[in-house]
Chains A and B, each alone.
Chain A
Amino acid sequence: MRPGPGGCCCCRRPARANGCVANGEVRNGYVRSSAAAAAVAAGQIHRVTQNGGLYKRPFNEAFEETPMLVAVLTYVGYGVLTLFGYLRDFLRHWRIEKCHHATEREEQKDFVSLYQDFENFYTRNLYMRIRDNWNRPICSVPGAKVDIMERQSDDYNWSFRYTGNIIKGVINMGSYNYLGFARNTGSCQEAAAKVLEEYGVGVCSTRQEIGNLDKHEELEKLVARFLGVEAAMAYGMGFATNSMNIPALVGKGCLILSDELNHASLVLGARLSGATIRIFKHNNMQSLEKLLKDAIVYGQPRTRRPWKKILILVEGIYSMEGSIVRLPEVIALKKKYKAYLYLDEAHSIGALGPTGRGVVEYFGLDPEDVDIMMGTFTKSFGASGGYIGGKKELIDYLRTHSHSAVYATSLSPPVVEQIITSMKCIMGLDGTSLGKECVQQLAENTRYFRRRLKEMGFIIYGNEDSPVVPLMLYMPAKIGAFGREMLKRNIGVVVVGFPATPIIESRARFCLSAAHTKEILDTTLKEIDEVGDLLQLKYSRHRLVPLLDRPFDETTYEETED
């Protein structure tokens, strides 16, 4: 289980019971009126927004409530594990059971201990049991199918031994390969190889000193063109882009309004900046508006002086929930209250929008409205690094004041070439329509996969158009079981639990890719169906009518409206 974003005061993780209204209505103001009911004839559920007319397309997001029985059983499961944890710790302390983990040096035994015992309770007793589901080493391109190195553990996951076998052709539902550019053949790879021969691999200097290559200038111009902004700047690491640039933009006396479920890099950047941080509920515009109003009316907490700047931090697609930010409403609020918007499109660039330009294009909005557009090249472009795009003054300021430009090395040249080639391909500048096809394929795959999973009866979170598909597991034992069963059937999935998610909401997360063909998706769906039956994962009480079969029936609809 990945450690979640925070553990620090600015990112509280309340054990929310899914934030749903108790009577079973799905959350986030999913309003259904009789006018909308007529629209269901197409099998789609339309949302009538209170902000009438801001959304040019249906925004279907759903977070189904946790069934009561499942919640209770999950808590019981964790309770049992905790009890056993205490028992094992006791046995280990009294040397009845062998202690496997590394210990401090003899000479340093009287130093203050490096770790607190309780910090690692969770790691020792719960994480260790199912540790084989993470850090699976692979030895091929992370494309649609991947080769995983087999590992065995003889001592209950405390240590692994490589058997030397390689499990070939595992379907890869875990890598962030949205447009399928993770390839070792093709034009991108050839271009990167050429640049590697010419430029070498490293750069050995920072952007401001002597590490600014002509390739970097080319890349930045291309990124600016791709996004539709005036200028852009590229950095070597996506995580570092956030943590090094937010402090350059805001400081003490400024206010940051950050979404509840923001990524660790945004949280770290916000903390390092020294500004005051306030959290609004996930994707909840009423909460954001209230915070904005209060901030402007009441000013800074003790002095009542007005805030210098207000910065709203949101992400395009949230990777754990699969939800898409309500961008039209955020922009309307930002304009009304004169705040600045920082949009982190790590997962949404390339994956949303008819031509892959991200969440701004998906909603049909103007990129000039977003003050700071940030994104990474790791997911849809098959490379590494991050970028920030915006007005020329902003980028000039960042060129001189960003921590990364002064102290960190610039991007490696073959990586830059990969980004340039893949971006040109997506934009269609290389003369083929490959880019457009990939974007369309991804959208189709997303819709198909989500619909089929919902029909099978699983609880799936998130927006219908997001290629990140979380499937709820809830119980701790099922986390490990699901991961292992799927690997037995030659499908590699990602499972996440606490602390990356709230304690009872562990999930399996599928990342769809344009490289997945329909056959691959069908195989996967069949296996998920089997495993779902085996592990009793089909919790959903809202069975969607499969598109082909039944005609629109008012009574079925009533049941879900509850």
Chain B
Amino acid sequence: EKEELIEEWQPEPLVSPVSKDHPALNYNIVSGPPSHAIVVNGKECINFASFNFLGLLDNPRVKAAALASLKKYGVGTCGPRGFYGTFDVHLDLEDRLAKFMKTEEAIIYSYGFATIASAIPAYSKRGDIVFVDKAACFAIQKGLQASRSDIKLFKHNDMADLERLLKEQEVEDQKNPRKARVTRRFIVVEGLYMNTGTICPLPELVKLKYKYKARIFLEESLSFGVLGDHGRGVTEHYGISIDDIDLISANMENSLASVGGFCCGRSFVIDHQRLSGQGYCFSASLPPLLAAAAIEALNIMEENPGIFAVLKEKCKRIHKALQGISGLKLVGESFSPAFHLQLEDSTGSREKDVKLLQEIVNQCMDRSIALTQARYLEEEEKCLPPPSIRVVVTVEQTEEELEKAASVIKEVAQEVLL
């Protein structure tokens, strides 16, 4: 009888078939480097889609440093950090990052996504409580899922909502003080949110931290190298002491135009990840040429702190220029280099919205402005943001190009949406 059951059982197919015109199936093919003048699908365009904020992607100094490292070390590291995979470049980079951010220690990961996704489960375990913003990016969501802690979402940037949740937790604590003494609390926020382009209200968060005794983990992927007078991120922007933030995590794939990520903070906090960060202990270390490129990029950032002001200027300019497009609304702060253009009135179905926006993107590409839609995994996101076009501003874009982009988007939006 058991044999019959085994015979009869039919599993589902391993993967469900994907329709040929799934929007994400056909990738844009970029021939050549994804730099300021980019060739997408055979068309030459100006790049308004890669996160190359400081234009370091084809900086000759960065390339030279990487080349020197390649000649000395080869490409791969052939091992994790614990087993002869620690190179002097890694130690150098960690040192430089710690000095730049004015913290005690920094730790490097070989992949940006894995940075925050490994850092959170290293500290927060089952039974701990994490308060996280609804608009947190996917990497944070995966880190939280891996940590198996209690997750409490608060409305995006709404400090009143967060305070309400913290108060509720306090009431719970008083009912059960023994449990409260061992439950850790964390607040996870991003400096500049990838999904909305808005900034987190850090001063209020720090106040809440000391009032309710929760630790803050700040994810600065977008704001590192963008905000602040010297590019140190949102803490410098607000003038908050960096010791007030327990852990700052960022990836080096945006402003530093390299690959990988890092966490920085006090040694007390960071050192723990060297033995319990999964993406650190069980994965090969960052290839030395990428680390050398990051060090050179840091050098450039330190030498001309003027570029941050230039970048801010350009962001403000295009922000103003893109206001008032019929049919599209701009979502994001005026100084955020990556912001979204969403449909003002949605058609009602997400699929149709995505198609419309794709039409806009395609037409813009025909007129040599390379844009992209913000991509999400629709079934997996906790709070799915509405479909949008992401526009990225870099220091390399000249004023004419900014003007041109604004006018092209306006024209195309008019044509497609009306």
B320 within 8 A of A: no
- State A134–B83 Cα separation when bound (angstroms): 6
A401 within 8 A of B: yes
Smallest beta-carbon distance A445→chain B, Å: 16
Q: Is the CB of A135 within 8 A of B81?
A: yes
- State A382–B79 Cα separation when bound (angstroms): 10
The segment from A20-28, A70-78, A233-241, A528-536 found at the interface with B is: A233-241
**Residue from A102, A139, A210 in contact with B38 in the complex, judged by beta carbons closer than 8 Å:** A210
Q: Is the CB of A339 within 8 A of B34?
A: no
Given A378-B76, A403-B142, A210 and B18 contact (CB-CB distance below 8 Å): no
**Residue from A140, A201, A412, A415 in contact with B72 in the complex, judged by beta carbons closer than 8 Å:** A140
B289 within 8 A of A: yes
- Name which of B27, B32, B281 has the most chain A CB atoms within 10 A of its CB: B27
The segment from B266-274, B306-314, B400-408 found at the interface with A is: B266-274
Given A196-B66, A204-B50, A406-B377, A418 and B75 contact (CB-CB distance below 8 Å): yes
- State A338–B63 Cα separation when bound (angstroms): 51
For chain A residues 365-387, which have a beta carbon within 8 Å of chain B? 371-372, 376-379, 381-384
B58 within 8 A of A: yes
Smallest beta-carbon distance A258→chain B, Å: 16
Given A138-B87, A188-B75, A212 and B27 contact (CB-CB distance below 8 Å): yes
The segment from B158-166, B251-259, B321-329, B346-354 found at the interface with A is: B251-259
For chain B residues 367-397, which have a beta carbon within 8 Å of chain A? 370, 372-377, 380, 390
Q: Residues of B contacting A212 with CB < 8 Å?
A: 27-30
Q: Residues of A contacting B2 with CB < 8 Å?
A: 293, 297
Chain B interface residues toward A at CB < 8 A: 2, 5-6, 9-12, 14-18, 22, 24-25, 27-35, 38, 40, 47, 49-52, 56-58, 62-63, 66-67, 70-88, 90-91, 104, 110-114, 117, 123, 137-139, 142, 145-146, 180-185, 210, 213-215, 243, 253-254, 256-259, 266-269, 271-272, 274-276, 278-279, 281-284, 286-287, 289-290, 293, 370, 372-377, 380, 390
Q: Residues of A contacting B290 with CB < 8 Å?
A: 201-202, 412
Q: Which 7 A-B pairs have the closest CB atoms?
A: A237-B111, A397-B15, A239-B283, A102-B268, A202-B257, A408-B113, A212-B27
Q: Is the CB of B83 within 8 A of A407?
A: no
The segment from A90-98, A307-315, A354-362, A433-441 found at the interface with B is: A307-315
- State A421–B171 Cα separation when bound (angstroms): 62
- State A296–B3 Cα separation when bound (angstroms): 10
Given A264-B282, A297-B6, A337-B6, A200 and B78 contact (CB-CB distance below 8 Å): no
Q: Is the CB of A236 within 8 A of B111?
A: yes
**Residue from A105, A198, A384 in contact with B76 in the complex, judged by beta carbons closer than 8 Å:** A384
- Name which of A2, A3, A172, A202 has the most chain B CB atoms within 10 A of its CB: A202
Q: Is the CB of A297 within 8 A of B14?
A: no
Given A135-B82, A205-B50, A210-B370, A407 and B289 contact (CB-CB distance below 8 Å): no
Interface size, A (range): 35 or more
Q: Mark A203-215, 1 if CB is under 8 A from B, else 0.
A: 1111111111110
Given A146-B84, A201-B62, A203-B34, A110 and B74 contact (CB-CB distance below 8 Å): no
Smallest beta-carbon distance B85→chain A, Å: 7
Can you list 16 A-B pairs, Cβ within 8 angstroms, ordered by A?
A: A102-B266, A102-B271, A103-B268, A137-B87, A146-B84, A149-B88, A175-B84, A184-B74, A189-B75, A212-B30, A272-B142, A378-B284, A384-B284, A399-B24, A409-B112, A418-B75
- Name which of B6, B110, B113 has the most chain A CB atoms within 10 A of its CB: B113
Smallest beta-carbon distance B84→chain A, Å: 5
**Residue from B35, B75, B267, B281 in contact with A200 in the complex, judged by beta carbons closer than 8 Å:** B35
Smallest beta-carbon distance A253→chain B, Å: 9
Q: Residues of B contacting A397 with CB < 8 Å?
A: 15-18
Smallest beta-carbon distance A449→chain B, Å: 18
Q: Is the CB of B142 within 8 A of A114?
A: no
For chain A residues 322-346, which have a beta carbon within 8 Å of chain B? 336-340
Q: Residues of B contacting A217 with CB < 8 Å?
A: 29
**Residue from B6, B73, B276 in contact with A296 in the complex, judged by beta carbons closer than 8 Å:** B6
Closest-by-CB residue of B relative to A399 is B25
Q: Mark A403-428, 1 if CB is under 8 A from B, else 0.
A: 11111110011110010000000000
Q: Mark A165-193, 1 if CB is under 8 A from B, else 0.
A: 00000001011110001111000110011
Smallest beta-carbon distance B320→chain A, Å: 25
- Name which of B75, B110, B137, B281 has the most chain A CB atoms within 10 A of its CB: B75
Q: Residues of B contacting A317 with CB < 8 Å?
A: none
Q: Is the CB of B278 within 8 A of A239?
A: yes
Closest-by-CB residue of A relative to B57 is A200
Q: Is the CB of A394 within 8 A of B14?
A: yes
- State A399–B72 Cα separation when bound (angstroms): 35
- State A408–B116 Cα separation when bound (angstroms): 12
Q: Is the CB of B15 within 8 A of A393?
A: yes
Smallest beta-carbon distance B340→chain A, Å: 13
Q: Mark A111-146, 1 if CB is under 8 A from B, else 0.
A: 111111000000100010000001111111111001
Q: Is the CB of A205 within 8 A of B51?
A: yes
Q: Is the CB of A201 within 8 A of B84?
A: no
Smallest beta-carbon distance A252→chain B, Å: 12
Q: Is the CB of B278 within 8 A of A418?
A: no
- State A189–B272 Cα separation when bound (angstroms): 36
Smallest beta-carbon distance B307→chain A, Å: 16
Q: Residues of A contacting B184 with CB < 8 Å?
A: 112-114
Closest-by-CB residue of A relative to B212 is A111
Q: Is the CB of A189 within 8 A of B34?
A: no
Q: Is the CB of B279 within 8 A of A239?
A: yes
Q: Is the CB of A494 within 8 A of B84?
A: yes
- State A193–B74 Cα separation when bound (angstroms): 10
Chain A interface residues toward B at CB < 8 A: 2-3, 5, 101-105, 107-108, 110-116, 123, 127, 134-143, 146, 148-149, 172, 174-177, 181-184, 188-189, 192-193, 196-214, 217, 236-240, 243-244, 247, 249, 263-265, 268, 271-272, 293, 296-297, 306-310, 336-340, 371-372, 376-379, 381-384, 393-394, 396-401, 403-409, 412-415, 418, 492, 494
Q: Residues of A contacting B58 with CB < 8 Å?
A: 200
Q: Residues of B contacting A494 with CB < 8 Å?
A: 83-84
Q: Is the CB of A111 within 8 A of B79?
A: no
Q: Is the CB of A209 within 8 A of B375?
A: yes
Smallest beta-carbon distance A201→chain B, Å: 4
Q: Is the CB of B63 within 8 A of A200?
A: yes
Smallest beta-carbon distance A369→chain B, Å: 13
Q: Is the CB of B375 within 8 A of A142?
A: no
Given A182-B78, A338-B9, A404-B113, A196 and B73 contact (CB-CB distance below 8 Å): no
Q: Is the CB of A236 within 8 A of B259?
A: yes
Q: Residues of A contacting B183 with CB < 8 Å?
A: 112
Smallest beta-carbon distance A234→chain B, Å: 12
Q: Is the CB of A403 within 8 A of B138?
A: yes
Closest-by-CB residue of B relative to A235 is B111
Q: Residues of A contacting B380 with CB < 8 Å?
A: 247, 403
**Residue from A104, A184, A207, A407 in contact with B113 in the complex, judged by beta carbons closer than 8 Å:** A407
Q: Is the CB of A204 within 8 A of B86?
A: no
Q: Is the CB of A204 within 8 A of B257?
A: yes
Q: Residues of A contacting B35 with CB < 8 Å?
A: 200
Q: Is the CB of B74 within 8 A of A182?
A: yes
Q: Is the CB of A137 within 8 A of B52?
A: no
Given A174-B83, A175-B85, A293-B6, A340 and B33 contact (CB-CB distance below 8 Å): no
Q: Is the CB of B29 within 8 A of A214?
A: yes
Q: Is the CB of A240 within 8 A of B6?
A: no
Q: Residues of B contacting A142 with CB < 8 Å?
A: 73-74, 76-79, 84-85
Smallest beta-carbon distance A60→chain B, Å: 27
- State A108–B241 Cα separation when bound (angstroms): 14
Q: Residues of A contacting B268 with CB < 8 Å?
A: 102-105, 114
Q: Residues of A contacting B374 with CB < 8 Å?
A: 209
**Residue from B28, B38, B70 in contact with A193 in the complex, judged by beta carbons closer than 8 Å:** B70
Q: Is the CB of B78 within 8 A of A175?
A: yes
Smallest beta-carbon distance B157→chain A, Å: 21
- State A533–B113 Cα separation when bound (angstroms): 47
Q: Is the CB of A271 within 8 A of B18?
A: no
